[in-house]
Structure 1
């Protein structure tokens, strides 16, 4: 039993309880779309996936090259006047 709940944190338990309650409500109210939402929460809890407070952010690159084409400054941009 200890190995079953070894890696369970608070948010994983919240997802499990919320998903169970939403699925129960979906069956009681005959709402299939609500059941899909509950199923997604249950799936996140079972597989231990999901976003935390800052878990879905894109990681910053550690080394950046200077003065690449994508990082031109505002002064380097050239505009052409169209009549």
Structure 2
């Protein structure tokens, strides 16, 4: 459990907070699509699933001399 909580970064915490807020908002207004969207954000944060499927979304840095 200690190791699991150590891997949380700021983006993951923001995604969790957004998911919880959107889920509560969807439940209070009875909007099911909003509820599903909030659940998606929450699951992405809990399971640490990124929007990048292959894990290679970063742009490689080239070392060029000008």
TM-score (norm 1): 0.58
Alpha-carbon distance in 2 for matches of 1:18, 1:57: 22
Higher relative contact order (CA 8 A, sep 6+): 2
CA 1:58–1:6 in structure 2 vs 1: closer, same or farther (change >3 Å)? closer
Q: Deviation of residue 50 (structure 1)?
A: 1.2
Please state if 1:33 is matched with 2:33: yes
The answer to which structure has the higher helix fraction is: 2
Point out where structure 1 has 5 or more consecutive residues left out of the alignment: 61-83
Q: Deviation of residue 51 (structure 1)?
A: 3.5
1:81 is matched with which residue?
none
Point out where structure 2 has 5 or more consecutive residues left out of the alignment: 61-66
Aligned residues: 58
Deviations 1:22-81 (A, max 9, x none): 0000011000000111011011001101147xx653888xxxxxxxxxxxxxxxxxxxxx
TM-score (norm 2): 0.71
Cα-Cα RMSD: 2.6
Which structure 1 residue ranges, 4+ long, deviate > 6 Å from structure 2? none
Larger Rg: 1
Alpha-carbon distance in 2 for matches of 1:58, 1:11: 15
